[in-house]
Amino acid sequence: MRNSELATVLRAANPWWSRRRRASWVLDDAELVARARHEWAPATATARTVLATVPAGARTGTVTLLVGPRGVGKTTAVKDVVAYVVADPATDPRRVVLLPVQRTLEDGTLAALDSADLATVVRTPTRTGAPACDGRRVLVIDEVGATPGWPGVLADARRRGDQVLATTSVLDLADLGALEAACPAGTVAVRRLNPSSMSELLIARPDADVDVVRAEFLRHGGLPRAVAEHRDLGDVGGEFVSRLAQGMHRDVCRGSDECPLDVLLAAVCATTGRFVEPEPLARMLGRSTADVGLLLERLEQAQVLDPRRGLVDPLLHRLPSLLAPERHAPPSVQHIATFSH
């Protein structure tokens, strides 16, 4: 991308750089508005607790990774941090730079910055529209794992003294090792957001009937917005399902049409026994065992799959039937109860 195009992305993502928008941006931010419409308060409290140490004073020269599956609320959580930091009168809002590595294009598809674009924005921000400021920056990078080579870019930002907060749905252990190897001990922290379990839903509703909570959990799962939409709408809305699937397709299939997500997840459900094995999955998909092994590895890196238990959230078992009901029948309650957390 040209620097002018990157500048457009940055200006749209950082409305608090404008004096008139410093306080009001939270009222029309897409993620914050969506949460306000369907919020499950315990999950919001958990996310704030996970990131509680990030805005507490200057932590220059550090990197915090927030890791979790699509739809668990990572973007909203880091925007809460941004809102907290920018609201402090002592903070120069120009120091706070939010970079969305992924964005939705006009045709509805997801696009990601390439490694050169990421490096340009992070290493020379003023060339791409970020205002000049005194002091170190608070650099917030959303879905950094979508771009190859990101550990080196984050390590460079830390070396210059920036405080880096990055989210990712995909965490390759080799990438984490490269980041930690490039940073001094104690400067890299990993925080995780996970879907809520049934026990957490029960704790949040101590007066509810256990069987009712169990039935609801096996239908909507533990992703915060899914929990809230089921409460408010009676089920999970199509907008959330579509966004969840689109992000997962990008993470696991790298956007390839040769890897339909609904077919892959349905095949995982159909072949999972005591463990998730590549051979029966390869036979069902008509692909090589090596190809399927790579897909399973990507599912695990995307926090979607536990090789010992199957898909990590009940809603993911239902996703194929929600995306393509003409091709996939909903899985049984017994199947979901057996092969999800």
Q: Kindly report, residue by residue over 116-166, the tens digit of the pLDDT.
A: 999 999 888 888 888 888 778 999 999 999 999 999 999 999 999 999 999
pLDDT bracket for residue 105 (50, 70, 90): confident
Domains of the chain: 3-192 (3.40.50.300), 198-339 (no CATH)
Closest C-alpha among 90, 76, 48 to residue 243: 76
Question: Which of 79-88, 104-113, 271-280, 331-340 reaches the highest mean pLDDT?
Answer: 79-88
pLDDT bracket for residue 306 (50, 70, 90): confident
Q: Is the pLDDT of residue 179 over 80?
A: yes
Q: Which pLDDT score is estimated for 57?
A: 60
pLDDT above 90 covers a percentage of the chain that reads 72
Closest C-alpha among 192, 186, 196, 200 to residue 167: 192
Handedness of CA 72, 14, 154, 186 (dihedral sign): negative
Q: CB-side exposure of 2: number of CA atoms within 13 Å?
A: 3
Phi, psi of 237 (to 5 degrees): -75, 155
Our CA angle for 58, 124, 53, nearest 5°, is 20
Q: Which pLDDT score is estimated for 274?
A: 74
Q: Which pLDDT score is estimated for 303?
A: 92
Q: Which pLDDT score is estimated for 341?
A: 61
- 102 burial via Cβ count (<10 Å: 0-12, 13-18, 19+): buried
pLDDT bracket for residue 338 (50, 70, 90): confident
Q: Is the pLDDT of residue 55 over 80?
A: no
> Roughly what angle, to the nearest 10 degrees, separates helices 278-285 and 261-271?
130
Under 8 Å between Cβ of 261 and 316: no
Cα distances (angstroms) measured from residue 77 to each of 65, 105, 292, 293, 341? 12, 23, 33, 32, 23
* Between 310 and 246, residue with greater pLDDT: 246
Q: Kindly report, residue by residue over 60-69, the tens digit of the pLDDT.
A: 899 999 999 9
Average model confidence (pLDDT) across the chain: 91
pLDDT bracket for residue 58 (50, 70, 90): low
Helix (H/G/I), strand (E/B), else coil: 101: coil
Q: Is the pLDDT of residue 107 over 80?
A: no
Question: Which residues on adjacent β-strands are paired with residue 100?
Answer: 142
